[in-house]
Structure 1
Amino acid sequence: MFITDLHIRTDSWLAMDTQLHDWRMYYTFGYAMSRFEPQVVIVLGDLFDTGYTSTDSQFDELTRKFHRIFTYRFDWAFNGSSVQWLPINGIDFVAINSITMDGDDDNGCPLCPPMATRQQLRTLAEQLCRRRQSVNNNNITDNCHKHRQWRRRRPIVLTHYPLYRQNEAQCGHDWDSIPDDQRYIPYRTKLDCLSRTASQAIVDGLGPRLVVNGHTHYDCRLRHWSDTLAVEVDEWTVASFNYRNLYTPTILLATITADSYSIRKCLLVNENK
């Protein structure tokens, strides 16, 4: 189960607004857990509404509130690693820190430079490819990405920012899609989406069968192509889970096996109806 962009606020904001949205997320998440009984829950996008502008005490307050609203144990949380391999039930998930893929020089962020992250990505891609060959008792070759077993069992990539796109023009028209009057607003790389170079590094480096992310607050499904690996890469940007961001929040329900996946979208009650 995927949810994104919680945008939790401290209680110093308008108390009624904050408590109302916290309450909605608490009960909606609790019902979804009991109704769907997911094996894994993945939270992407902006967890908090203030982020790096918070003081240490405010960040601690937000962290405590996150665990009060989402009263389940999370195995991986608040991890700032640039590239992280997460093997879950025999499926390779790769979490990528979007900021480090492009760097953040504009804001003076001291995170590792993008080239170091992209090198980590290339190293992990090779390890996963050769590991898949080794598991299946195949001779390891220099072009392991051409092997049929790898092509069927490519990883699932998790990012914060969407892959590069000019705007939301190619996204669908659903209840949780971006409003038509915002659909053609140009996206700014490193703020609204990854750069073209960083996106291609993910698509060509890992050749994932699926990329899941958030950040835009609206639903979008796109398909990319890797000329390097000759594979299609599906991308699903999940709409926000918080009613503050749109009238119809979303839960994404995914069934993922080693060599296939299927996705169903669960729209919450439309607040505007």
Structure 2
Amino acid sequence: MKLLVKMFSKLANWSFLGAIVLVFNLFLLDIYSIYPCDWPCPDCSDENFVKVMILSDPHLLGKRKGHPVDQFTREWEMSIAFQLAKSIRKPDVIIFLGDLLDEGLTVDENGFDKYVDRFEKIFSIEDPIEKIFIVGNHDIGFHDRVAAYPYLRKRWEKAFNSSLAKLVTIKGIKFISINSMAIEGADFSLVQEMENYLSVVDEQLTKSNLPGDPILLLHFPLYRINDDICHEIDSQKGQDRLNNFTPGVESLSKRTSDNLLERYRPRLIFNGHIHSGCVVNHTKHDSQEWTVASFNWRNRQDPNYLLLQISPNDHSIVKCFLPTEISIVITSILCLITLCVSTKIMGKLVDSHSPKSQPKSKPKDNKKKDKENHKPVSKGEIKKRKSKEKN
């Protein structure tokens, strides 16, 4: 029993030390990646410039698809990276471009509430940072599901302070958020409801006297045939970039895309959905579209996010990469090996400098002594002793 307790205690100590090493390793790797990636315009100290952090597709796993170990690992990685980036860069605004929850459309009400609580713990954002959440297909489903189950959309809008379409103005910069799954499809009532929301946005823009064109935020990319026109370092590779997009599934239709470009003439468009990066210049409308790669290591080896500095008349953008998962695995293994070896070396050094134990002395044989003391004495010996005593 004592041996089992000793083994368990040793295992617990090693597990604790190993966990500390892994956290410290990821922390250092994130610092190494995040700290050098600064705001693109450090000299833009004008109050008109707004600092915006943009990320997409975190895909928090649910109970159906994700293994608990996989779920814990990904959320732990994302939480450390996000909190470090937020603390170091101190943005004014943080934007999530959809698919916050991987199984948001399948969980019941209680499960959804727990899902939202997990998201808010992992991606906690304190005041006064503004936040904008765009809904994705994994949050509420594609068009047919959104139309068939309106409660999916409404509970998400309530939890994340969103709507079908919304104009948000922050420090003079106009952001238009749009529900990609509701803007087009077979359900006339949903499309008409979406049009009513867009009309409100039109009216708000008409009444606004703020300078500068708006920023368009949505989950689906605008129409493009495929990703063969994308040449970013995080764009799709190989055959994947040649696979044609299905309008309404991988992108918006050409008609809807042209309508949004004509209607709002946005200078910048940000979206996600395909988990890979892309930059498209819509020269006819003087607009630039950025498709942001996934922030989750489960979806790609090199997750990233954008840092945007924007004023009514100018903007700068930089893409910040997180450490690759292979680098995290290799350095974690090296750290654990180093911990194991150094612990053994330290143990040997301690043993070599500790005082040697003295050999135990043999106990005296008292029985033998007693026997000697109780030997029979002869009469002659007794007389000799008495004569000595007299003298």
Fold similarity call, TM over 0.5: yes
- Find out whether 1:262 has 2:316 as its counterpart: yes
Structure 1 equivalent of residue 367 of structure 2: none
Deviation at residue 119 of structure 1 after TM alignment = 5.2
- Could you tell me how far apart the structure 1 residues matched to 2:125 and 2:186 are? 32
Q: Does 1:9 align with 2:67?
A: no
Alignment match, 1:206: 264
Percent identity, aligned pairs only?
35
Structure with bigger helix share is 2
1:40 aligns with 2:40: no
Deviation at 1:112, TM superposition (A): 4.7
Match of 1:239 among 293, 301, 307: 293
Indicate yes or no: 2:83 matched with 1:30. Answer: yes
| Residue in structure 1 matched with residue 246 of structure 2 by the alignment | 188
1:92-137 per-residue CA deviation (whole Å, 9 max, x = no partner) reads 11101111111364xxxxx9532442454355235414522xx6xx
Letter in 2 for 1:212: F
Do residues 172 (structure 1) and 231 (structure 2) align? yes
Aligned Cα root-mean-square deviation (Å): 2.0
Compared CA separation, residues 79 and 166, structure 1 to 2 (3 A): farther
Residues 154 and 236 (structure 1 numbering): CA distance in 2 closer, same or farther, change over 3 Å? same
* Residue type at the aligned position of 1:239: A
Contact 2:166–2:197, Cα closer than 8 Å, also in 1: no
The aligned residue for residue 121 of structure 1 is: 198
Picking from 74, 83, 90, the partner of 2:172 is 90
Does the aligned pair in 2 maintain the 1:158–1:213 contact within 8 Å?
Answer: yes
**How does the TM-score come out when normalised to structure 2?**
0.59
Look up the SS of the partner of 2:168 in the other structure: strand
CA distance change for structure 1 residues 189 and 72 in 2, over 3 Å: closer, same or farther? same
1:54-65 map, 5 Å: 54-65=107-118
- 1:55 deviates by 1.9
Distance of 2:131 and 2:185 partners within structure 1: 27
Return the structure number with greater strand share. 1
CA deviation profile, 1:56-101 (whole Å, cap 9, x unmatched): 2221121111011012146555245111000001111110111111
User: CA separation in 2, counterparts of 1:257 and 1:35?
Assistant: 21
The whole-number CA distance in structure 2 between the counterparts of 1:54 and 1:104 is 25
The normalised TM-score by structure 1 is 0.83
Distance 1:71 1:116 in 2: 32
Letter in 1 for 2:91: P
**Contact kept? 2:232, 2:279, Cα under 8 Å:** no
The alpha-carbon distance between structure 1 residues 104 and 23, as it changes in their structure 2 partners (threshold 3 A), is: farther
Runs of 4+ off more than 6 Å: none
C-alpha contact (below 8 Å) 2:221/2:273 kept by paired residues: yes
Task: Name the stretch that deviates more: 48-57 or 92-101.
Answer: 48-57
Q: Is the 2:93–2:131 contact (alpha carbons within 8 Å) kept by the matching residues of 1?
A: no
Q: What displacement does 1:18 show? A: 0.5
Partner amino acid for 2:310?
I
